[in-house]
Amino acid sequence: MKSGDGFFDIMVSVMVMHHIEAVGGPIAEMSRVLKQGGRLIIADYSPKAHTLDSQSRHNEEDFFEPNTVSMAAKASRLKPRVEDHGKWYLVEATRTIGTD
């Protein structure tokens, strides 16, 4: 991302994570461009969603567990909160003061 450090108040990722191979890099980059106190919101399918009837078929391993996303957020200096809704999840994470 070409944006500078601490540029955004909020970053939102909706149904994107299951299209990438690993969550650590993208979450670290989103954390980098968040201001102190900024929020990252991630909503995506969980591995249970591979059973959904869809035009684009996915395998169970295409999806990340909510805990995996939460741990990547913690590793990227964010304070996450997870809501697991079965076939989908929400991770809301805040870049807290003193994480630089």
Q: Please write the tens of the pLDDT for every residue from 66-97.
A: 999 999 999 999 999 999 999 999 999 999 86
Confidence of residue 59 (pLDDT cuts 50, 70, 90): confident
pTM here is: 0.88
Tell me which H or E stretch contains 72: helix 66-75
Q: What's phi and psi for 85, nearest 5 deg?
A: -110, 30
Query: What is the C-alpha separation between 63 and 16, in angstroms, rounded?
Result: 10
For the chain, which residues make up each domain, given as ranges? 8-94
Q: Please tell us whether the domain made up of 8-94 is placed in CATH 3.40.50.150.
A: yes
d(CA 94, CA 73): 9
